[in-house]
A and B are shown apart, each in its own frame.
Chain A
Amino acid sequence: MSVTRRSVLEQLATASDATRQETTTIEALAATLDADEYTVESHIERLEACELARITPDGTARVTITGEELLELNTTEMVIVDAATSNSKI
């Protein structure tokens, strides 16, 4: 079944926590979304490239603070994340 990247982000935000750094598994996300694991994992990797998700070394994932803030924008239309324009603190 097809699943959108946004719905993966929303479910990730529900099942994990950026502040407490609580993670969830790809398997659990795929089961909840009724989607195949490969598709969910692919979306999570793309979300990580947008700095909206973080994949840990043990393969679990969590939403980032950026991801939570994006969902709070409550915009359902087009969204582009331009991470290269960020100003990292040293």
Chain B
Amino acid sequence: MAGNETNESTAESREVQYDPTSSRYNLYECPDCDNIVLALGRDEPPMSCHDKPMERVTDLEMSVQPPDVKQVLLQAFGLPKAGLDICLCVIGEGPLSANEVAESLGYDRSTITRYLNKLVELGLLERSELNREEGGVVNVYHSVDLERMRRETLIGFYVWAGEAAALIEDANLTKQDYLEENPDRDLPEIFWDSFPED
């Protein structure tokens, strides 16, 4: 259909390829084994494996879809756009009341509280209880040290990427192993059976 063709051509036009000359990130592979590493932010001293310097990947032909920051936050951290909106709304503006944040963003008041707690759970915010003059406490949400936030989000994402990479490796191995052991079964059936849905 014409609509599908348009979508496919749009997706293709948005594809990106790894550029070894870019300093944004680097991919290295071991000349002796199948170890491949992603390095962000530095390439000196060079990565080593088997006591040899790893080699920069230069021959990758596969293109990938450019990551969408909203999808990345949702997939890797379970954080919907609302969570990021809350952070962006308050930086440089605080202290704000939760009601103000809700009004400003057009979210329900309970949504704000829910995502504030989610951000605490992720380690991106800290929650403190402050005393009220009339008794009881007020919850205050404040950002953690920015350097700590940078480290937490990057390592957290690497954990997610590691899980995803392990899944892709499992998928590749599953294909090979099962085809050898089950020549009479269809590959799609074998493949998806090995990744049961939660």
Q: Is the CB of A5 within 8 A of B94?
A: yes
Q: Is the CB of A85 within 8 A of B94?
A: no
Q: Is the CB of A80 within 8 A of B132?
A: no
Contact of A82 among B91, B116, B134, B143 (CB under 8 A): B116
A31 to B146, CA, bound (A): 33
B68 on the A face (CB < 8 A): no
Question: Given the complex, which residues of A lie within 8 Å of B125, measured CB to CB?
Answer: 78
**CB closest residue in chain A, given B90:** A78
Q: Is the interface of A mostly helix, strand, loop or mixed?
A: mixed
Q: Is the CB of B95 within 8 A of A83?
A: no
Q: Given that A65-B132, A70-B130, A89-B136 are known contacts, is A49 also in contact with B100, CB under 8 Å in the complex?
A: yes
Question: Given the complex, which residues of B lie within 8 Å of A78, measured CB to CB?
Answer: 87, 90-94, 125, 141-143
A58 on the B face (CB < 8 A): no
B176 on the A face (CB < 8 A): no
Question: Given the complex, which residues of B lie within 8 Å of A1, measured CB to CB?
Answer: none
CB distance from A30 to the nearest CB of B (A): 19
CB distance from A41 to the nearest CB of B (A): 16
Question: Given the complex, which residues of B lie within 8 Å of A73, measured CB to CB?
Answer: 128, 140, 142
B113 on the A face (CB < 8 A): yes
Q: Is the CB of A82 within 8 A of B95?
A: no
Q: Is the CB of B139 within 8 A of A86?
A: yes
A18 on the B face (CB < 8 A): yes
| CB under 8 Å from chain A, chain B span 105-126 | 109, 112-113, 116, 125
| CB under 8 Å from chain B, chain A span 41-90 | 46-47, 49-52, 54, 64-66, 69-70, 73, 75, 77-89
Question: Given the complex, which residues of B lie within 8 Å of A4, measured CB to CB?
Answer: 92
Q: Given that A81-B95, A83-B98 are known contacts, is A70 also in contact with B135, CB under 8 Å in the complex?
A: no
Q: Given that A69-B131, A75-B143 are known contacts, is A80 also in contact with B136, CB under 8 Å in the complex?
A: no
Question: Given the complex, which residues of B lie within 8 Å of A51, measured CB to CB?
Answer: 132-133, 138
**CB closest residue in chain B, given A9:** B95
Question: Given the complex, which residues of A lie within 8 Å of B109, measured CB to CB?
Answer: 84
A-B contact pairs, 27 of them (CB 8 A): A5-B95, A46-B100, A50-B97, A51-B133, A54-B133, A64-B132, A78-B91, A78-B125, A78-B142, A79-B96, A79-B140, A79-B141, A80-B98, A81-B95, A81-B141, A82-B112, A83-B97, A83-B138, A84-B98, A84-B99, A84-B113, A85-B113, A85-B138, A86-B136, A88-B135, A88-B136, A89-B136
Chain B residues near A (Cβ < 8 Å): 86-87, 90-101, 109, 112-113, 116, 125, 128, 130-143, 146
Given contacts A65-B133, A66-B132, A77-B142, 10 further A-B contacts (CB under 8 A): A79-B94, A80-B140, A82-B139, A82-B141, A83-B98, A84-B113, A85-B139, A86-B132, A86-B138, A86-B139
